[in-house]
Amino acid sequence: MIIRYLGFLVLISVELFAHTVLAEQKPVELLNVSYDIGRELFRDINAEFEPWWKQKYQQKIHIKQSHAGSTGQARSVVEGLQADVVTFVQWPEIQYLYTAANLLPEDWHQRFPHNSSPYYSIPVFMVREGNPKAIKSWGDLARPGLSVVFPNPSTSGNGRYTWLAAWAWACDQGMTEMQVEDFMRKLLGNIRVFPPGGRAATTTFVNRRQGDVLITFEAEVLALLKMKAAEGLDIVVPDCTLQADFVVARVNAVTSRRQTSDEADAYLNFLYAEQAQQIIARNYYRVRNHEVMKQWAGQFRQTRLLSVESVYGSWPRATAQFEKGGAFEKLLRERGQLSSKVK
């Protein structure tokens, strides 16, 4: 009887000790390194994920954010920024973490559904009220005398999608390679401001009132049009544009060292949950969950979507445009003083 009683006391003591240890655990902290116009989206997602995690695991978790042009962000991670997870604009930016520093596996894109892309957007145009320049399609952007604003492809995934979308449109029109380059040369010649990231481009166009047209993601434009600062501005969705698949990954080299692999995977898996897909759609991104997309379909205009693979064959072939000696560098060099005047 005494032995059984002592055993009961030991069991109670172990349970109390375990409860105390759990209650006193240091909160988990993750760093999400992301693109610059994703601030509001991930603020809303974090506000749902953190209490969800605490309720499920009786442990506090805090998601820290880092936002800038996503191409530059990829370089920062390779150079030592300690990202547990990355939520970037396009495939090459995460692939770069593998090729440049082996920070994650080569098959990173197979670790989450839809090639690790929980949502997508499309490049669209923001114009002045009434669309005084009558801008309707990509072809209009090459007209003489137009002032175009979009992020610099050297530092921004947003900017790279813009460049690739314009090139894809020209190819879709049946232009020869020489005609495509001439079109892109004219478009590049209309750029007066070349900000480093999507949010900087928006500030230039909306707040500083520079340019006739801003090219950026639909999610950014739709969100802006709900704000007072965007009075006097309209959206134009071209009848053909490129699908921009946003991609995510866990940075193994960081999570293994910090022992945050489970938390990082949970965070990225959460992006696919209906709860998060609702938040993402509410922030004007197009989502993978078909039922959620149906609920929010009214806020998205219909357009014909091209894919990187259908136009370029693969992402490596598409990104060759931005490599040394590629089309972007070639046409930028032809532009002469653009590199010193356009910043």
Q: Closest Cα partner for 67 from 197, 178, 189, 173? A: 197
Q: For each successive 10 residues of the chain (343 residues), what is the average pLDDT?
A: 43 41 71 95 98 96 95 96 97 97 98 98 97 97 96 92 97 96 96 88 93 96 90 96 98 98 98 98 98 97 96 95 93 66 40
pLDDT the model gives residue 10: 39
Task: Report which residue type is found at 116.
Answer: S
Query: With the CA atoms of 241, 32, 75 and 106 taken in that order, what torsion angle do they form, in degrees rounded to the nearest 10?
Result: -80
pLDDT tens track for 1-20: 444 444 433 344 434 344 44
Residue 72 near residue 221, CB atoms below 8 Å: no
pLDDT the model gives residue 192: 80
How far is 261 from 85, CA to CA, in rounded Å? 9
User: At 180, phi and psi to the nearest 5?
Assistant: -65, -45
pLDDT the model gives residue 26: 77
pLDDT the model gives residue 17: 41
How far is 113 from 157, CA to CA, in rounded Å? 21
pLDDT the model gives residue 15: 41
First to last CA, the chain: 83
How far is 258 from 252, CA to CA, in rounded Å? 10
Q: What is the DSSP letter of 26?
A: P
Residue 201 near residue 155, CB atoms below 8 Å: no
CATH of domain 123-242+313-341: 3.40.190.10
168: three-class secondary structure by DSSP? helix
How far is 67 from 87, CA to CA, in rounded Å? 10
Task: Provide CATH 3.40.190.10 ranges for the chain.
Answer: 2-120+245-299, 123-242+313-341
Which CATH number among 2.40.50.140, 3.30.70.3270, 3.40.190.10, 3.10.50.30 corresponds to the domain 2-120+245-299? 3.40.190.10
